[in-house]
């Protein structure tokens, strides 16, 4: 049986190939920065940066109605722009990335970081290694460093929606609530139908910013975009509606369930 060596680990060539295929299927591998279509986005990274809450109501999905019958139609959810990116990435980098993820999962953080640094030194177009470096820093409770790595991932690829959620979550943990809201809002500017951005924004509005009506609209959006499968969030939505007294606005089902996946290049 043929083995492939990756740092201090050895895997069968067949296993490596299978893992690479899985990595490719999870989300589209990113292309060059020049292929990005998203506008340049400036992030307020900490509380020292002057920031105001960004409006997010424009990202709430709306019911689609048949003009002739008045019937509510299935909502055509926008696709994740990150998965639509195309580009060539060397198999060596894919294999190294897979090995880094395996090392991360078993808790060998120094080896995972070493592998990821080798990728970032060799190919500056890839955002995924910076996201995982942020995950490593977060696990080590180096929150400021995690912020830097997630922001770097966004600067490399502005449609990497995973990085926005992770960055905003750390900002929230640091108590930088307005910068966190800005980051969630900017994630929605990249992908308006991003369920996890709506969910996390609802958490921020309700628990940290005392804006229950805004929270209701975004948790309703999350439930709408994910087909209402999350029973726990449905209970929260009902409780929010009781507090606000506001009617639910969304009634139709989406044509496809959408979500994000982490662990991508």
Is 64 part of any domain? yes
Instruction: Note the residue count of the chain.
Output: 265
Distance CA 183, CA 216 (A): 19
Is 230 part of any domain? yes
Q: Write out residues in the chain with pLDDT < 50, as ranges.
A: 1-29, 31-40
| 3-state helix vs strand vs coil in the chain, percent to 5 | 55, 5, 40
Is 47 part of any domain? no
For the stretch 231-250, pLDDT in tens is 899 999 999 999 999 999 98
Tokens linked to 10:
């050895």
In the block, residue with structure tokens 């943990």: 173
Question: How many folded domains does the chain comprise?
Answer: 1
Phi, psi of 11 (to 5 degrees): -130, 155
Is 20 part of any domain? yes
Q: Is residue 265 a contact partner of residue 89, using CB atoms and an 8 Å limit?
A: yes
For the stretch 25-61, pLDDT in tens is 334 335 333 344 444 455 666 555 556 899 999 999 9
Q: What is the pLDDT of residue 66?
A: 84
Residue-range definition of the domain harbouring residue 228: 3-30+54-75+88-244
Residue 138 φ/ψ region, left for φ over 0, alpha for ψ in the -120 to 50 degree band, beta for the rest: alpha
Instruction: Number of helices (H) and strands (E) in the chain: give both, helices first.
Output: 10, 4
Is 173 part of any domain? yes
Contacts of 68 (CB under 8 A, 6+ apart): none
CATH of residue 117: 1.25.40.10
Tokens linked to 1:
């049986």
Q: What is the pLDDT of residue 14?
A: 46
Is 250 part of any domain? no
Is 260 part of any domain? no
Is 181 part of any domain? yes
Q: What is the pLDDT of residue 7?
A: 37
């Amino acid at each position: 049986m043929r083995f492939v060596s990756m740092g201090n680990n050895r895997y069968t060539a067949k296993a490596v190939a299978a893992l690479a295929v899985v990595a490719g299927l999870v989300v589209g591998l990113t292309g060059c920065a020049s292929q990005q279509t998203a506008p340049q986005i400036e992030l307020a990274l900490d509380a020292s940066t002057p920031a105001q809450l960004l409006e997010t109501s424009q990202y709430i999905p709306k019911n689609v109605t048949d003009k002739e019958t008045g019937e509510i139609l299935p909502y055509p959810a926008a696709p994740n722009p990150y998965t639509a990116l195309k580009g060539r990435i060397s198999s060596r980098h894919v294999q190294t990335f897979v090995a880094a993820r395996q090392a991360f999962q078993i808790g060998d953080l120094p080896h995972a970081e070493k592998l990821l640094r080798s990728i970032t030194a060799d190919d500056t177009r890839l955002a995924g290694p910076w996201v995982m470096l942020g995950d490593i820093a977060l696990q080590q409770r180096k929150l400021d460093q995690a912020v830097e790595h997630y922001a770097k991932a966004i600067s490399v690829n502005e449609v990497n929606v995973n990085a926005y959620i992770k960055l905003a979550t750390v900002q929230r943990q640091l108590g930088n609530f307005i910068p966190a809201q800005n980051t969630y809002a900017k994630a929605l500017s990249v992908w308006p139908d991003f369920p996890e951005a709506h969910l996390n924004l609802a958490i921020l509005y309700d628990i940290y910013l005392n804006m229950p009506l805004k929270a209701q609209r975004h948790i309703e959006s999350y439930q709408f975009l994910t087909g209402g499968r999350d029973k726990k969030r449905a209970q929260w939505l009902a409780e929010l509606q009781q507090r606000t007294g506001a009617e639910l606005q969304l009634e139709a089902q989406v044509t496809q369930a959408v979500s994000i996946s982490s662990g991508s290049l």
